[in-house]
Structure 1
Amino acid sequence: MPLAGERQVDLDAGAAVSEQPAPAQELGADAVRRVWAAVEASTALATKAAYRSDWARFERWCHEQGQASLPAHPLTVAAYVTEAAGEQRPPKVGESGSGTRWRYSPATLARWVSSINQFHTAAGLDAPGRAEVVRRALAGIRRGRATPPARRAPLLLEDIRQLLETLRLAFHQWPAGVIARRDAALLLLGFATAARRSELVGLTVGDVAVHRVDGLHITVRKSKTDQEARGTVKAVPYGRDPQTCPPCAYTRWRQLLDTAADLSPAEQRRPVMAALFQQAGDPGVDGHVCRVDLPAPTDPTAPLFPTVHKTGALSGRGMSGQAVNEVLARRAAAAGYTDAQIAKLGGHSLRSGFVTEAFRQGADAHAIMRQTGHRNPTILETYAREHAPLVGNAVTKLGL
């Protein structure tokens, strides 16, 4: 609840109208609502939810401290983040060691400041988090922690091969083969497109087009760096090895998707099982199956990677980003990875694996950015420095 004398601001459409100058007389109420609906659409739902949660926490703290939250003084914001920076988590049950476990990371504190700024600018006020005292407070917190960021370990091409080896054991089994086919396509397309996990699970059947020469043209309609959904096309070429050929994995998976289309889960069993076993008896030319003609999808809006029940039934609901993490963890465990290795894997491992493998194979930053969509080559240097430290390194010229 806002304190007495404070103005209440919400990021919902139309809520900020009262905080703005009155529109011209000829601008009707419907037009005003359309304007604020457009403003509302400029921010993703998840981002707005994070802003509101962060703002509610800041309001509670200000109320307890007897400080104004809107407008907030820069010193109030600096005191807020520095107090939170000193909080520690209690040790876990059975945890040994005396290492400090901070409750909030510097990144979380910086996000809080960003949320505070958003609510101030929405109310037509100066953003207190942009003041020098707040910037230096955050910089001091980061320097005091001096801990490297936790990064996902990359999955290189050899890692992908290992994971696929365990998948192949179930390719022609029922019902495990359905999930195995999906996971194989997920791994290879995720790796070859260098997609973020949100981009990967957001793909629909209609987003993939088979190109006679190039292989696959995959349209990513929206991404972290493309909130306006201008879209981009990523090409995935035909592979030399049928075991790691992304179009082959896509073809086998599409055949199962097409078979299950428009069928209820109860009706899918016989035809999908038959399609799965038919694939076992048709290795294709030189082991490849990617040159077959696929029909136009029945429903282009259907998710490319739906959830699959343990009975082999395909749903009409797409996988979540967390489900991608679980697939990688499950397949890595089956391939013999240790618990410590699995803990470092996640959906980003496919994207970072592409960048790392590309650097190791001699690709330059510009060529890598063509596929990843990065706008700044400096970011790619992080991958090269941490996961491909010998690439372009003079130490290899010493003749040791």
Structure 2
Amino acid sequence: MTEHLPAAPGPDSLIQRWAERHGIDTAQRLAQAEDLADAIAHAVTPDNTIDTYAKSWRVWERFCTSQGFPLTEGSRGALVAFVAWMLREGQQDGTGYSAATVKTHLAAATVGIRQRGHHVSKDAVAEARDALDGLAVKLLKAGERRGRGKAVAADINGLRLIARSCPPDLAGLRDKALILAGFNFASRASEPAGLLVGDVSLHPRGMVVSVLTGKTRYSVREAKIPFAQDPEVCPVRAWTAYREQLVTQHGQRWAEPKQPAFVGINRWGHVTGGMVPDSVTRAVKRISARAQVPIVWTGHSLRAGLATEGRKKGKDAVSISRQGGWAPNSREMLGYMRAADEWDDNAAAGLT
């Protein structure tokens, strides 16, 4: 009589192979370890990454429904067709996505197929990416430019304009601290929104910002921000002035470590609670527009600015990546650095 393996989570074929090699008890323990690994992976995956996977899977579902394809077959042809469909008509309104968005959905949909226990070959994914690159070039040649493009990088001149344009009231002090501090630790919009008072500490040489809500293991960091030589754009002085004014006007409870570091302030000067990522993004746009910087900044401009301005000052990739929470060889970070090099280390510069 053949003994059957009791039901266990995970792909049945994998558990059956374990049972054949090691016995049923060991196979069950290995299956439980798989459960634990899945639970840990879910726990350490940032919420915005989970949201991206879910959104991309819904795009994949719409594609498969429109084409009559099974959801679990990530074949070469299906992935290439997926890329072409997204560029052509993938959005809900029937228009095409930008190449950058297509790349994100392709990667996330591939993860989704694999997470559901089905094989997707690296060659198939590579061919779909090559197809995307080729089709994106054709769109550019045809004059189509989709998406918002790269965020304009914050720069030192812009910081000075902003510092001068912020009014001396609490909201203005908050705006100034948000921009100057955010620039100096290359913040994403989600990072100032996630900071608590206890995450920011003063130091004889400046201040330390403990970023605990980063997207990756690299972006969870302690960023050291020194006093600036120019008091007008000093993030430490701006932070101190803002926090002192907040406590003076609204009470000592706002100095408690568990309170939000950056608070929302309505038009009547009332504190509305902690800022959220969307409000940080809107604030950066509003503050830069008020200062009349040449090109209005977006929520990602502070992050781009630290890498770009740091490179102009001769900082290397290691120090920039550590401060901004990039992986050491991050393509995003290197792209910002190249943006500085294209002008400062240009073969055509100074020839005439």
TM-score over 0.5 for the pair: yes
After TM superposition, list the pairs within 5 Å mapping 1:1-400 onto structure 2: 17=9, 19=11, 21=15, 24=25, 36-87=38-89, 103-127=96-120, 130-131=123-124, 132-146=126-140, 150-167=149-166, 170-171=167-168, 177-212=169-204, 214-226=205-217, 231-259=220-248, 260-261=250-251, 298-316=255-273, 318-337=274-293, 341-342=295-296, 345-374=297-326, 375-376=328-329, 379-387=332-340, 389-398=342-351, 400=352
Q: Which amino acid aligns with 1:327?
A: A
More helix by share: 2
Output the TM-score relative to the length of structure 2: 0.79
How much does 1:161 deviate? 0.8
How much does 1:397 deviate? 4.9
Q: Which amino acid aligns with 1:119?
A: G
In structure 2, relative to structure 1, the CA distance for the partners of 1:83 and 1:333 (3 Å cut) is closer
Paired with 1:379 and 1:299, the residues of 2 have a C-alpha distance of: 36
In structure 2, relative to structure 1, the CA distance for the partners of 1:36 and 1:363 (3 Å cut) is closer
Whether the 8 Å contact between 1:113 and 1:129 is mirrored in structure 2 is: no
Paired with 1:394 and 1:32, the residues of 2 have a C-alpha distance of: 54
Paired with 2:335 and 2:61, the residues of 1 have a C-alpha distance of: 37
Paired with 2:235 and 2:300, the residues of 1 have a C-alpha distance of: 18
- Secondary structure of the 2:149 match is coil
Output the TM-score relative to the length of structure 1: 0.70
Paired with 2:63 and 2:192, the residues of 1 have a C-alpha distance of: 39
Say what the alpha-carbon RMSD is for the aligned residues: 3.4
Deviations for 1:296-334, whole angstroms, at most 9, x for unmatched residues? x85312211121122212233x22222223222222332
In structure 2, relative to structure 1, the CA distance for the partners of 1:262 and 1:75 (3 Å cut) is same
What is the identity percentage for the equivalent residue pairs of Structure 1 and Structure 2? 28
Whether the 8 Å contact between 1:210 and 1:216 is mirrored in structure 2 is: yes
1:287 counterpart residue number: none
In structure 2, relative to structure 1, the CA distance for the partners of 1:106 and 1:301 (3 Å cut) is same
How much does 1:394 deviate? 4.8
Detail structure 1 runs of 4+ shifted over 4 Å in the superposition. 25-36, 88-91, 377-381, 394-397
Paired with 1:391 and 1:377, the residues of 2 have a C-alpha distance of: 21
Paired with 2:259 and 2:121, the residues of 1 have a C-alpha distance of: 45
Flag structure 1 segments of 5+ consecutive residues without an equivalent: 1-15, 92-100, 172-176, 264-296
Paired with 1:115 and 1:232, the residues of 2 have a C-alpha distance of: 26
